[in-house]
Amino acid sequence: MTEQPRRRSSDLFGRLPLPERNFVTDALRAETVGGVLLLLSAVVALIWANTLHHSYASTAHFPFGPSALGLHLSVAHWSSDGLLAVFFFVAGIELKRELVSGELREPAKAVLPVVAALCGMAAPALVYTLVATAGGGSLEGWAVPTATDIAFALAVLAVLGTALPAALRAFLLTLAVVDDLFAILIIAIFFTSGIDFAALAGAGACLALFWLLQRAGVHGWYVYVPLALVTWTLMYNSGVHATISGVAMGLLLRCSRREGEEQAPAERVEHLVRPFSAGLAVPLFALFAAGVSVSGGALGDVFRRPETLGILLGLVCGKAIGVFGGTWLAVRFTRARLNPDLRWPDVLALATLSGIGFTVSLLIGELAFTDRPQLADEAKAAVLVASVTAAVLAAILLKLRNDRYRRLTEDEELDTDADGVPDVYEQDEPAHHLRMAELLEQEAAEHRRLAELARRRRAGGPDGT
């Protein structure tokens, strides 16, 4: 009898395929720049709100827009419902790409980020519920600590100069994409009331037209931008949160290339829209969402109120426990195994970093406590304190292993033969080894020449003068 071959186990956080690595590198570079702008906007908001409070409040609540369309909204309202629709549009494109050609395309690879994201949302919600119930607080904010802000997390890495291997960064990006998907579902299901079905049907018709125009190969911003504005207006007036329209349009964009196309529509549009989202839309939202009081009394309330304490513990502890626990479960009950170059403390550091919840957490905080403005502001303060705490803890854990991460990153980027492809991706290519042999032979010949010159100098020969 012949022994049956054993199925190979897959490495968690193993090396990415080269095209996926290049895409992740480009996407994360843009997210990092946006995250730094996000941090700056949050700092400006805090300074403005705590030094010139009247000016900040009057600007944030200044109304403008056409009343006939139901869009006479405050600046803060426009930033959360209007500008964030652009952010969710990009999130929808990212999700579509992950489903079509990324980590979520294959069920076996999708298990880890999906399980980690689900556990990373369920655990914070459970922590909040337990804390709020024990303290006699409101359960309305259970969803606030469930979101991860990828831009903020990457900005922290950039500021600290912490290197992470591409696989860990890709996992963080995919985790955030799945996290955003479930956050979108939470907003659509739990924060929608009084639906206007006529307006919702109109938005659905616009989305169907958007899809048909895509299928027909129609191009031109002058077609799609007005259609997107009409879709957003109808979605807003339907009672469903307006950012859902952005997600829906992002998911409808085509990610596959047709014959003769250099880029798929999703790639082209994302390249155009991402700078606007990361450089303007999200920072402006942060500017008018993060302006809360940071006095000693206000910060003390974060640790005294059950709702805010639940948010704080949910993000800092719940996220870390959930993401780490979900990853451990994937290893325990599937054939996956941890990359031999990494250790479980690396996973814990990444899980702690996912506790940075900013953009979507602030939005859900506004929606959860819309009838209680003071509690909404306190919830924002809790999100800020929790995000800073998670960032500091993750930075400490990551710094302990930063030398190891740097070596792994250098190995991933080493391109000895200068052909534009890292050496680790060419180990099975004969042409690569032939190029390396030629380079080494040239170096050996040069060293032999230098050795002969040195010998003659030491011997005082005619070439040694």
* Whether the predicted pLDDT of 17 surpasses 80: no
- 436 versus 8: the higher-pLDDT residue is 436
- pLDDT for residue 186 is more than 90: no
Question: Is 437 exposed, middle or buried, given 0-12, 13-18 or 19+ CB atoms closer than 10 A?
Answer: exposed
Q: Which residue has the higher pLDDT, 51 or 422?
A: 51
Percent of the chain whose predicted confidence (pLDDT) is above 70: 81
Whether residue 250 is predicted with pLDDT greater than 70 in this model: the reply is: yes
3-state secondary structure the chain: CCCCCCCCCCEECCCCCHHHHHHHHHHHHHHHHHHHHHHHHHHHHHHHHHHCHHHHHHHHCCEECCHHHCCCEEHHHHHHHHHHHHHHHHHHHHHHHHHHCCCCCCHHHHHHHHHHHHHHHHHHHHHHHHHHHHCCCCCCCCCHHHCCCHHHHHHHHHHHCCCCCHHHHHHHHHHHHHHHHHHHHHHHHHCCCCCCHHHHHHHHHHHHHHHHHHHCCCCCHHHHHHHHHHHHHHHHHHCCCCHHHHHHHHHHCCCCCCCCCCCCHHHHHHHHHHHHHHHHHHHHHHHHHCCCCCCHHHHHHHHHCHHHHHHHHHHHHHHHHHHHHHHHHHHHHCCCEECCCCCHHHHHHHHHHCCCCCHHHHHHHHHHCCCCHHHHHHHHHHHHHHHHHHHHHHHHHHHHCHHHHHHHHHHHHCCCCCCCCCHHHCCCCHHHHHHHHHHHHHHHHHHHHHHHHHHHHHHCCHHHC
Tell me what pLDDT residue 145 has: 92
pLDDT grade, residue 1 (50/70/90)? very low
Residue pair 245/203 in contact (Cβ under 8 Å)? The answer is yes
Beta bridge partners of 337: 11
Span 439-457, average pLDDT: 86
pLDDT surpassing 50 at residue 360: yes
In this structure, whether the domain defined by 11-191+241-413 belongs to CATH 1.20.1530.10 is answered with yes
Q: Picking from 33-37, 209-213, 440-444, which range would have the lowest pLDDT averaged per residue? A: 33-37
Residue ranges covered by each domain of the chain: 11-191+241-413, 423-464
User: In which region does residue 239 sit, left (phi positive, over 0), alpha (psi from -120 to 50) or beta (all else)?
Assistant: left
What's the confidence (pLDDT) of residue 358?
81
Closest CA to 256 of 204, 215, 218, 210: 215
Confidence band (pLDDT; 50, 70, 90) for 445? confident
Work out the average pLDDT over 359-365. 85
For 55-92, letters b (16+ CB in 10 Å) and e give ebeebbeeeeeeeeeebebbbbbbbbbbbbbbbbbbbb
Q: For the segment 405-421, what is each residue's pLDDT rounded down to a tens digit?
A: 777 666 666 667 666 66
Joined tokens for residue 305: 């109120």
- Across the range 291-296, mean pLDDT stands at 72
With contact defined as beta carbons under 8 Å apart, do 90 and 277 qualify?
Answer: yes
Mean pLDDT value across residues 233-238? 91
Q: Cα–chain-centroid distance for residue 80? A: 18
Top-confidence residue, 218 or 125:
125
pLDDT of residue 339: 67
- Asked whether the predicted pLDDT for residue 124 surpasses 90, the reply is yes
Say if residues 34 and 151 touch (Cβ distance below 8 Å).
yes
Share of the chain above pLDDT 90, in %: 17
The pLDDT of residue 26 is above 60: no
* Model pLDDT for residues 269-278, shown as the tens digit of each residue: 888 888 888 8
pLDDT band at 181 (very low <50, low <70, confident <90, very high): confident
pLDDT at 142: 93
Residue with the larger pLDDT of the pair 408 and 128? 128
Rg (CA), the chain: 26
The Cα 392–Cα 338 span in angstroms is 25
State how far the Cα of 296 lies from the Cα of 17, in Å rounded to an integer: 50
Whether the Cβ atoms of residue 98 and residue 174 lie closer than 8 Å to each other: yes
Residue identified by tokens 């999708």 is 110
Which residue would you say has higher pLDDT here, 296 or 443?
443
* 126-130, 186-190, 421-425: range with lowest mean pLDDT: 421-425
Which one-letter amino acid corresponds to residue 431? A
Q: Where is average pLDDT lowest: 124-128, 341-345, 404-408?
A: 404-408
pLDDT tops 90 at residue 191: no
In this predicted structure, what is the pLDDT of residue 403?
A: 72
What is the reported pLDDT for 70?
Answer: 83
User: What are the beta bridge partners of residue 63?
Assistant: 74
Q: Which residue has the higher pLDDT, 128 or 150?
A: 128
Sign of CA dihedral 447, 452, 457, 462: negative
Q: How far apart are CA 76 and CA 458, in angstroms?
A: 79
* Amino acid 233: pLDDT: 93
Q: What's the rounded mean pLDDT across residues 234-246? A: 87
Range with the poorest average pLDDT among 45-49, 111-115, 223-227, 284-288: 111-115
> Taking a C-beta distance cutoff of 8 angstroms, is the pair 81, 229 a contact?
no
Q: Cα–Cα distances in Å, from 360 out to 2, 368, 383?
A: 56, 12, 10
Question: pLDDT tier at 9 (50, 70, 90 boundaries)?
Answer: very low
Higher pLDDT: 12 or 423? It is: 423
**Rounded mean pLDDT of the chain?**
80
Predicted TM-score (pTM) of this structure: 0.74
CA–CA gap between residue 370 and residue 288 (Å, rounded): 15
